[in-house]
Amino acid sequence: MTANAVNTPKSAVLEELTSEQQKEINQYAQKGNDEMDNANYVHAIDWFSKALEVVPEPKDKWEATGWLTASIGDAYFSLMDYEEGAGNLQRSYQIYGPEEANPFILLRLGQCYFHLGNEQKAKEYLLGAYMLEGKELFEDEQLYFDFLQSKVLL
């Protein structure tokens, strides 16, 4: 599952990236995705961060920042750096807003908070992911589903 499959954020700038910017971002992001596929998470973070550098200021007004920070957060999660993972995923979540919440981002946020020992936030985000996508999202995430099920009646 990749973080790139997210909705358009409500706060996205109406202008579009130039074709050169979009091409450069996509090239870097593809290299990041390739590194993720090969479990080279540090290199993936480098490529996603390089793509993020191409996004114009203010960065948090662009859709690309939403999916790039989600991708960076996913890579940090894979490295078991849950603090950095949560920070990047939280940024992505704020860009998209709760109205445009993405189940993958909510799942990863909940997982990060679970590992950080913040049960309240873990429950909140995991429940949000469950409400949007159902049990299927937790197919390979039994630990987190069991935790959620222990906290709320599903």
Tens of pLDDT, residue by residue over 28-63, are 999 999 999 999 999 999 999 999 999 999 999 999
Report the pLDDT averaged over residues 82-91. 98
The topology (CATH level 3) of 18-98 is: 1.25.40
Question: How far is the CA of 116 from the CAs of 24, 30, 129, in angstroms?
Answer: 35, 30, 18
Per-residue burial over 140-152, b if 16 or more Cβ lie within 10 Å, else e, is ebeebbebbeeee
Q: For residues 109 and 86, what is the distance between their CA atoms, to the nearest angstrom?
A: 6
Domain coordinates in residue numbering, the chain: 18-98, 101-153
Say what percent of the chain tops pLDDT 70. Answer: 90
Q: 99: pLDDT confidence band, cut at 50, 70 and 90?
A: confident
- Please, what is the end-to-end C-alpha distance for the chain in angstroms? 24
User: Can you list the positions of beta strands (E) in the chain?
Assistant: none
Q: 8: pLDDT confidence band, cut at 50, 70 and 90?
A: low
Estimate to the nearest angstrom the gap between the alpha carbon of 78 and the chain centroid. Answer: 12
Q: Which two tokens stand for residue 53?
A: 């550098």
Q: For residues 32 and 41, what is the distance between their CA atoms, to the nearest angstrom?
A: 8
